[in-house]
Amino acid sequence: MRYLHTMVRVKDLDASLKFYCDVLGLVETHRMENEKERFTLVFLAAPGDVERATEEKAPLVELTYNWDTEDYAGGRNFGHLAYRVDNIYETCQRMADAGVVINRPPRDGHMAFVRSPDGISIELLQEGKDLPPAEPWASMENTGSW
């Protein structure tokens, strides 16, 4: 397993970049714009992690800027922790066997979400190529929020 990123939703991207980059000293490594879903993702790394973060896409802070206005009450601005795993099906099965609810099953062989006992959302991503769809995951519905 490898730590990837922590996602934080931001209300004002320019003000957030000024804080995280100009004041805190993080460095932007890459960004993604999604016009259809109306959001921008900006990935930042500590100066000592820039080379690794650029090559491996980790360890990072992901700033998520949703273009439509939303107030993030109750800590909703914190998004999730993300980890890359060797086999997403085996990881999810081990977690399910331990009583963890798989909130977003890995139907696509690529991504799943679970929650910690304190409700922290954790994204699991398949290392390398996505695995072929497999049961019981392929037909499993989402449970709760993630």
pLDDT tens digits for range 7-19: 999 988 999 999 8
Amino acid 77: pLDDT: 79
User: How many Cβ atoms are within 10 Å of 42's Cβ, its own excluded?
Assistant: 23
- Give pTM, 2 decimals: 0.73
For this structure, is 123 an active site residue? yes
Quick one: which of 122, 142, 109 has its CA closest to 7? 122
pLDDT tens digits for range 64-108: 999 997 777 766 778 888 989 999 999 999 999 999 999 999 999
Secondary element (H or E) of residue 111: strand 111-115
Given the residues 33, 35, 123, 135, the one annotated as active site: 123
Distance in angstroms between the alpha carbons of the first and the last residue of the chain: 20
- Structural domains of the chain ordered from first start: 2-66 (3.10.180.10), 86-139 (no CATH)
pLDDT tens digits for range 3-62: 999 999 998 899 999 989 987 889 999 999 999 999 999 999 999 999 999 999 999 999
HSE at residue 131, side-chain half, CA atoms within 13 A, is 21
Distance between CA atoms of residues 55 and 15, nearest Å:
27
